Structure 1
Amino acid sequence: MKALLCKQFGPPETLVVEDIEPAALAADQVRIDVHAAAVNFPDSLIIENKYQTKPELPFSPGGELSGVIAEVGSDVSHLAVGDEVIAFTAYGAFAEQVVAGADRVITKPQGVDHVTASAFVMTYGTSYHALMDRAALQAGETVLVLGASGGVGLAAIEIAKAAGAHVIAAASTADKLAVCVEHGADETINYVETDLRDEIKRLTDGRGVDVVYDPVGGDLTEAGLRSCAWRGRHLVIGFAAGDIPKPPLNLALLKGCAIVGVFWGRFVATEPEANVADLKALFGLLAAGKLRPHVAATYPLARGGEAIAALAGREVSGKLVITPRSES
């Protein structure tokens, strides 16, 4: 089978497509024919040995996929050959086939195509866990979404709106902000052309925001934290800007606000029943048309490195998906 391989740690252009032997199947695993695999920010980190998961070389990146089960292990009873599924693998999904633990596989909802399914759970799962669990978002509250045009950002906008919140989307270009409005943002801030804090003060009449959704880090984190209202919650999602910020903690004291960590992968592993409940809620919102996953483009396996580079360079809005079984 063909796979996009990281044979030495480095940037996306060092990845190569090669034929490899399929992995052996353990009793508690399933083999999946991969039809679509979403690109996520950790993929750009894992290939440079900058992520908390550190696989041995060579390996294929890609942690989120949709496909069809080709083989099941002897101890697997709830899944069968031919089932259409979504799976989470940490790495290995950018290949024609992948082996995954059966406990990391869920049935794909009917009526959802493979491309959409592959791009749904990680971003929407992260944003739902962040807003509804970690921030306990309430109807009528105001949410600031930083990096709002990215995959998790657009998911956060839609989930916050479905919860009855008022959403301010912040991004770096007018085109990106237009996409945010299409997905439900009430107001927007271009933080390249205007001062983020000044605009938040203007839009909230000086009160500040109840929740800051922050997947960006860098200089924007302190600006977001300073913009929290009393009893606000600043959600630490990730560091797409590259720099892990060190905000002055006296801000949390003065504002009575909380700095809240969000690690969806750890949540899934340690609270599986809560995660299943979240997924049921998300699939319900998807079926009701309240969530509209935005896939900006699909790439064949041969151009998988380009997809990772485009996402890492924050060149696109929404999600990018690799389709290993397509030629172009």
Structure 2
Amino acid sequence: MKAILCSQYCQPDDLVLADVPDPVAAPGEAVIAIKAAALNFFDILMIQGKYQIKPPFPFSPAAEVAGVIESVGDGVTDLKVGDRVVASCGHNGARDKIALPANSIVKIPDNLDYDRAAGIIIIYGTALHALEDRASPKPGETLAVLGAAGGTGLAACELGKLMGLKVIACASSDEKLEFAKQHGAELTLNYAKEDLKEGLRKLTGGKGADIVFDPVGGAYAEAALRSTAWEGRFLVIGFAAGDIPKIPLNLALLKGCDIRGVFWGAWARLNPDKNRKNLEKLVQWTAEGKISSHVDRTFPLSQTAEALKVLAGRKAMGKVILHPGS
């Protein structure tokens, strides 16, 4: 089978399309013939050796897959050949097939296409965990979402609206903000044109945002924290801007606010049953049209480098999907 391989830390253009042996389902596992594999910003960091998780070489990027069960190992009773499924794999999704523990695989309904299914797990799983488990939300509170047109930001906009929050989309272009408005945002702020701190204060009548969802980091993080309301919650999601900010802790004191870390991957490993229920709920919501799992564009497996560069350039509005077998 074909696989995109990272054999040493490298840039996207250095990845290689190679032949590797087909996987075999061990006891308790199932092999998925992958129809769609979703990319995330951390895939770029992983191949560069800058991510906290460092798989052994050689490995493939892409941590989310959707496809069809091709075979099952001994002891697997709740999956059968031909089932349409989705799963989180951490890495190695950019290939034709993958063997995974059966208990990590979730069936998807016939009316949910593989591309949208592949894009659900990480961005919506992260956003749901952030808002439901970490943010302590109350209906009617304001939620400011940085990077609102990116994958995780867009998921936060949609889920925030579903939770009854007043969503303020913050992004770097009017095009991205208009897109976020189509996906749950009520108010918008272009932080390329307007000061983020002052803009959020103005949009909240001087109070500040109750919840800040920040997958961007860099120079925007401190400004966003300064714009939080009294007893606000600042959610640390990631650092798409590249720089990890150093936050003056006196801000947390002066605002009586919380800075709360959101590490969905670790939480999912520690809470597998709750994470599986979350994923099943998100799959159902997507099939019902309550959330979009919007796909920005798709690429054949051979163009994985180009797909990653779309993410690196922050050009994607929604998910970037690979199509193995093409």
TM range (shorter): over 0.9
Please name the residue that 1:270 is paired with.
Answer: 270
For the Cα contact (< 8 Å) 1:8–1:14, is it kept in 2?
no
Please name the residue that 2:325 is paired with.
Answer: 325
Residues 167-225 of structure 1: per-residue CA shift (max 9 Å, x gap): 11111111111111111211111111111111111111110000000001111110111
Please name the residue that 1:216 is paired with.
Answer: 216
Please, what TM-score do these two structures have when normalized by structure 1?
Answer: 0.96
The CA deviation at 1:287 is 4.0
Q: Which AA in structure 2 matches 1:297?
A: R
Please name the residue that 2:232 is paired with.
Answer: 232
Note the residue ranges of structure 1 that are not aligned, 5 or more in a row. Answer: none
Runs of 4+ in 1 over 3 A off after TM superposition: none
1:58 aligns with 2:49: no
For the Cα contact (< 8 Å) 2:116–2:295, is it kept in 1?
yes
Please name the residue that 2:34 is paired with.
Answer: 34
Q: Find the aligned partners of 1:289 and 1:315 in 2 and give their Cα distance.
A: 25
Note the residue ranges of structure 2 that are not aligned, 5 or more in a row. Answer: none
**Identity over aligned pairs, percent:** 48
Query: How do 1:134-153 and structure 2 match up within 5 A?
Result: 134-153=134-153
1:279–1:89 Cα change, 3 Å: closer
Q: 3-state DSSP class of the match of 1:31?
A: strand
What is the RMSD computed on CA atoms of the aligned residues?
1.2
Q: Find the aligned partners of 1:284 and 1:23 in 2 and give their Cα distance.
A: 29
Q: Find the aligned partners of 2:280 and 2:98 in 1 and give their Cα distance.
A: 25
Please name the residue that 1:5 is paired with.
Answer: 5
The CA deviation at 1:284 is 4.2
Q: Find the aligned partners of 1:47 and 1:189 in 2 and give their Cα distance.
A: 33
1:310 aligns with 2:310: yes
Matched positions, count? 326
Residues 233-292 of structure 1: per-residue CA shift (max 9 Å, x gap): 000111111111111111111111111111111111111222233234333433442211
Please name the residue that 1:180 is paired with.
Answer: 180
Please, what TM-score do these two structures have when normalized by structure 2?
Answer: 0.97
1:101 aligns with 2:114: no
The CA deviation at 1:154 is 0.6
Q: Find the aligned partners of 2:93 and 2:219 in 1 and give their Cα distance.
A: 33
Q: 3-state DSSP class of the match of 1:279?
A: helix
Q: Which AA in structure 1 matches 2:65?
A: L
The CA deviation at 1:25 is 3.0
Q: 3-state DSSP class of the match of 1:47?
A: helix
For the Cα contact (< 8 Å) 1:210–1:229, is it kept in 2?
yes
For the Cα contact (< 8 Å) 2:112–2:286, is it kept in 1?
no
Please name the residue that 1:301 is paired with.
Answer: 301
Q: 3-state DSSP class of the match of 2:156?
A: helix
Residues 16-55 of structure 1: per-residue CA shift (max 9 Å, x gap): 1111112343212211100000111121111111112212
Please name the residue that 2:249 is paired with.
Answer: 249
Please name the residue that 2:67 is paired with.
Answer: 67
Q: Find the aligned partners of 1:74 and 1:285 in 2 and give their Cα distance.
A: 32
